[in-house]
Amino acid sequence: MAEPKTPLVLSQGTAYRFVVSTGSRDLGSWAKASDMEIKWGLAEHWVGDSDQYFKYAGVPKYESVKLSRAADPVGTKAVQAWLDEVHSTGGKPEDGAIEIIDAGGTVVVGWTIREMFPISWKISDFDASAGKVYLETLKIAHSGLFSAANRARPA
């Protein structure tokens, strides 16, 4: 019988983590996800020459999602492989997902991210004398965030 896995979230000492995937790739667990935001422009429709008009939501604009975590051997290598592939092929947008998981490994909520691809990656400055954790940051552009009810989990 296989030994039960201890959830990654417990070993990293936090209550919630963000698990990210794209296409068939698992990009691992992340400590912070920011700029998961949708903004709609305001559209107006004027009725003829009158002073009557209607307001409605215009075209949505999606902010790039920024992910941060302590660099780790498995997750960072998965991101490096994705970045290498994008660099060599020019990149192909893929659907992916971000899920919030709790300390027990249960998915709390998730989103499909349409047509995502990396637009930047960085790691904190190396300084062996500081004895600190190195933080990795990945920024992802996309064409939409959709709730769990409207999503199909990537294979």
Judge whether 29 and 8 are in contact, CB under 8 Å: yes
In a domain, 58, yes or no: yes
Q: Please count the structural domains in the chain.
A: 1
In a domain, 155, yes or no: no
Judge whether 12 and 34 are in contact, CB under 8 Å: no
In a domain, 1, yes or no: no
In this structure, what CATH number is given to the domain that contains residue 76? 2.30.110.20
In a domain, 39, yes or no: yes
pLDDT tens digits, the chain, 155 residues: what are they? 444 444 443 444 457 788 999 988 999 999 999 998 899 999 988 888 888 889 999 889 999 999 999 998 899 999 999 999 999 988 789 999 999 988 888 888 999 999 999 999 999 988 888 778 889 999 999 999 887 644 444 43
In a domain, 38, yes or no: yes
Q: Please report how many Cα atoms fall inside a 13 Å half-sphere around the Cα of residue 90, on the Cβ side.
A: 0
In a domain, 3, yes or no: no
In terms of residue numbers, what domain contains 81?
A: 8-150
**pLDDT for 148:** 60
